[in-house]
């Protein structure tokens, strides 16, 4: 089985440097048959967002892209403006997956595959795994558990796209290495 990322990286003509999240969004939207760049731009009104360039990103990539990225972006504040703790941000993120669009769920899965795969790659290349795990506030067990929780939540909300097979594999491997 070819990883989904190989397939979409080959077919997407990306000529400018853009953030990893937006690149993943374009790949995800392509996978579900939409062209997010063709949408008309508007300013997002999502409460709790802390992205400072929402208007310019919306102008560049369109409202659909912006809204999709915001749907799977950690929020620092809730809808009432109350600052969220680290654990609350993760809980909020998982809860919002239930109302996220299919495209946003693709982006979420792609982002977690990329991040978990990067961690696994780093762990394979180091002689001292603790130097890798120490980069994460949640530590070894919490980090492994987080990626598995995202996988499980995506399944729970009914997301069953083929990309979940890869997320299952990398999150399972990461959780196993985490102990």
DSSP structural state of residue 103: H
Collapse the DSSP code of 77 into the 3-class scheme (helix H, G, I; strand E, B; otherwise coil) and give the result: strand
pLDDT digits over 64-118, tens only? 888 888 888 888 988 899 999 989 999 999 999 999 999 999 999 999 999 999 9
CB atoms within 10 A of CB 113: 24
Query: Residue 37's pLDDT is what?
Result: 44
The HSE-up count of residue 69 (CA atoms within 13 Å, CB side) is 26
Model confidence at 9, pLDDT cuts 50, 70, 90, reads very low
pTM, entire model: 0.70
Residue 40 burial (CB count, 10 A): 8
Mean pLDDT for the stretch of residues 25-41: 49
Contacts of 6 (CB under 8 A, 6+ apart): none
What is the C-alpha to C-alpha distance for residues 175 and 96, in angstroms, rounded to an integer?
23
Task: Output the pLDDT for position 150.
Answer: 97
Q: How confident is the model at residue 69, as a pLDDT?
A: 84
Q: Alpha helices, DSSP H only, in 20-162?
A: 20-31, 54-61, 63-71, 86-96, 102-125, 129-133, 139-156
Average pLDDT, the chain: 77
- Distance CA(49)–CA(42), nearest Å, equals 15
Q: Where are the domains of the chain?
A: 102-178
Least confident span in 37-46, 102-111, 129-138:
37-46
């Amino acid at each position: 089985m070819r990883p989904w990322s190989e397939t979409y990286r080959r077919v997407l003509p990306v000529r400018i440097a853009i953030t990893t999240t937006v690149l993943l969004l374009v790949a995800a939207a392509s996978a579900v048959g939409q062209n997010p760049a063709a949408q008309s731009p508007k300013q997002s009104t999502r409460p709790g967002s802390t992205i400072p360039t929402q208007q310019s990103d919306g102008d560049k990539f369109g409202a659909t892209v912006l809204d999709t990225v915001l749907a799977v972006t950690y929020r620092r504040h809730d809808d009432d403006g109350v600052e969220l703790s680290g654990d609350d941000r993760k809980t909020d993120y998982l809860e919002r997956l239930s109302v996220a669009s299919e495209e946003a769920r693709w982006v979420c899965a792609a982002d977690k595959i990329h991040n978990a795969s990067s961690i696994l790659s780093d762990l394979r290349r180091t002689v001292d795994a603790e130097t890798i795990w120490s980069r994460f506030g949640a530590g070894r067990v919490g980090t492994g558990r987080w990626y598995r929780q995202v996988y499980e939540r995506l399944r729970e909300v009914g997301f069953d796209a083929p990309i979940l097979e890869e997320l299952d594999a990398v999150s399972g491997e990461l959780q196993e290495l985490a102990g």
